[in-house]
Structure 1
């Protein structure tokens, strides 16, 4: 069974045919000739495996679709009470601030992406806003708190994003539209983009503790460490094979929010 990571020409969903996941599935090889041991140690200190680490524009890509920026790698984040769980929803220690009440996060689709990605963005916004969260989302044509843009040519992931900092969402999603294509904008593409926006507002992979059931291969628990992998109360403590934040997805699959996803979203926002 061929699997690619939700973001590595990727995808983000589970399926009987998992061809793509938001974090492309690769051999567990550390690119030591490109990444220094010091940087690898920084990756480990942030709670990520170095098995699939690769140098990309702006930092180091881990878990197939998560960008650890150079700033994050050298930071010393503070955290308290972490839980390394099983298969359930997780968040990072950093979230988007909603201290002022409802907050609107604007999303812009770069003109270097096909029009299907505008359609997909409108659908992901509809999905989030239907949950009546303290975070609201809106698409804009200039500026934008989160900008979706084309990944560099030759990228090995489907899409990638980072985590919040300073109370703000991560500000960009890199999208490999050449690998994803333009079909199924309101289902498959919307699912991939909603997954990446999930990272931008502080969600880690639902199957972070054992991605083998969405990606195949051996069980791997990344460990929490300083970036945080905090269990979200009320979410599943067993396998949750339809969550929008699973690491891998089948090509063409659709994964709208399930009941555990809604619990997680409403708990945080």
Structure 2
């Protein structure tokens, strides 16, 4: 089962039978990570069982980047939680609504990925939100989709983190040779998941990633950037949410009714 490395899908975080935030489950923490950093991650409320050092910071939940600046800040946000499998957002959101966010995709991607990002954008724009997306082919985009040949063993992609200062996280990275698919809807699902992280959504099953990833129960942490229950989303498990930590290889997850409730409540 693979995770979205959301990255935080997203991709959050498993083998390639599942993808969520795009990376294989790691069972041990890298020994090079200092106790000071581990303490900072815990202070932000995230679990450290799959903590990974990357350029610019550390990856948690499989696909979300905590920058060095965020780790040092440890802001004191509160957390609200009800039930165990609902839609969750961070306290960091995109502001200045209504607003159009621009999206670009690296020329290193083939046409399948261009079609897929257009589909991911279409899904968001069809939701009737005050936050919409537009792909551009020149200039600096709010959400660049970056290409990588390697983000680590089994990693499919990684989001740029959380919104900051009212702006989205700066895009996300995908690894096509690990995704290894020409299924447009599957790739669009991965992209939409990572976009969800960029605009402030956490994994639907953050409190127990075993729900979508399998294995033992794993709490990603409430986090001081927030794990705030979105009113109107279910208190029971939601097996088809676009923000679940893991997704089956080749699976298409368009927004379900609960996802649309969550998106419309926030944006």
Return 82-91 or 102-111, whichever deviates more.
82-91
Write the deviation string for residues 46-69 of structure 1: whole angstroms up to 9, x where unpaired.
121111111112211111111111
The partner residue of 1:151 within 106, 131, 148 is: 148
1:175-221 superposed Cα distances (whole Å, 9 cap, x missing partner): 11111134111x10000000000000000000001111210011122
Contact between 1:7 and 1:192, CA under 8 Å: does it hold in 2? no
What is the number of residues matched between the two proteins? 260
Contact 2:81–2:227 at 8 Å: present in 1 too? yes
**2:131 maps to 1:135:** yes
Q: Give distance in 1, aligned partners of 2:132 and 2:238.
A: 26
Whole-angstrom distance in 1 between the partners of 2:67 and 2:22: 17
Task: State whether structure 2 residue 228 is matched by structure 1 residue 226.
Answer: no
RMSD value, Cα = 2.1
Alignment of 1:204 with 2:202, yes or no, is: yes
TM-score (norm 2): 0.91
Report Cα offsets for 1:51-88 as digits up to 9, x if no partner: 11111122111111111111111113242353264100
Looking at structure 2, the residues matched to 9 and 62 of structure 1 have their Cα atoms a distance apart, in angstroms, of: 8
Residue 215 (structure 2) aligns with: 217
1:121 alignment counterpart: 117
SS at match of 1:148: strand
Q: Which residue is equivalent to 1:268?
A: 266
What's the TM-score once normalised by structure 1's chain length? 0.90
Secondary structure at 1:141's aligned position in 2? coil
What's 1:60 paired with? 58
Partner of 1:111: 107
Give, in angstroms, the shift of residue 10 of structure 1: 11
Q: Summarize the alignment of residues 151-190 of structure 1 with structure 2, pairs less than 5 Å apart.
A: 151=148, 153=150, 155-156=152-153, 157-161=155-159, 162-185=161-184, 187-190=185-188
Which secondary structure does the structure 2 equivalent of 1:226 belong to? coil
